[in-house]
Amino acid sequence: IKTTKKLSITVLGTASSVLIGQDALGAAYPARLEVELQKKLEGVEVKVNAVIQTRQTTADLWRQMGRILSEKRPSLVIWQTGTYDAIRGIEPDQMRVALDKGIEAARAAGADVMLVNMQYSPRTANMIALNDYIDIMRLVSQEKEALLFDRYGVMRYWFDTRQFDLYTRARGMALARRVHDCLGRAMATMIYDVLMPKASDEPVKP
């Protein structure tokens, strides 16, 4: 940022990184992240692009990391993963190995990494065992000194404090757009606080 006045970010994600419908691309959290970071980083050209791979495990995404990095050449990779591992029942230790290798590949290509764990849904929380995978991502982020955006924890907090009713389907895409907007703003705040420590202490509110 200091030398080029540019910040290139690649979101390596799955289906929950996008929305459907009219103007969905601009409403999903990668686009909202770009807008918020552009506001915060005056004089810096911010570009966020999303590479969406559906039904991919962490190992599947890691194997594509080299190609994606060579094509996009980002300064920061936001790696959203874990849900499909849990659905498939992948051993958490296998996921851990893939996370390690993916982070190492990104850093070898000159990119920093921010991990993003699963989204919280009260409808599926008791159907899919996520805790072991959430713990693995937290452990790897600590060991590798990589950022971790706790999407699961943030969304559960919003639900528990009744800021968002994530159980009902009544509001459909309107609710999804609000959630994505808040996620993008929260991610932007986290990244900005790393770049400019103590510059922002205000929590992101829906």
DSSP 71-125: HH--SEEEEE--HHHHHHT--HHHHHHHHHHHHHHHHHTT-EEEEE-PPP-TTTT
Closest listed residue to residue 111, CA positions, set 149, 81, 78? 78
Q: pLDDT tens-digit profile of 92-143?
A: 999 999 999 999 999 999 999 999 999 999 988 888 999 999 999 999 999 9
CB 46 within 8 A of CB 187: no
DSSP 199: S
pLDDT of residue 23: 72
pLDDT of residue 170: 54
- Phi, psi angle pair for 45, to nearest 5°: -85, 115
d(CA 3, CA 168): 47
Q: Which helix (H) or strand (E) holds 7?
A: strand 6-13
Banded pLDDT at 15 (limits 50, 70, 90): confident
pLDDT of residue 169 exceeding 90:
no
pLDDT of residue 199 exceeding 80:
no
Closest listed residue to residue 147, CA positions, set 94, 189, 87? 189
How is residue 121 written in tokens? 């849904």
DSSP three-state, residue 11: strand
pLDDT of residue 174 exceeding 90:
no
d(CA 103, CA 130): 21
3, 51, 130, 177 from 26: Cα distances, Å: 29, 15, 29, 10
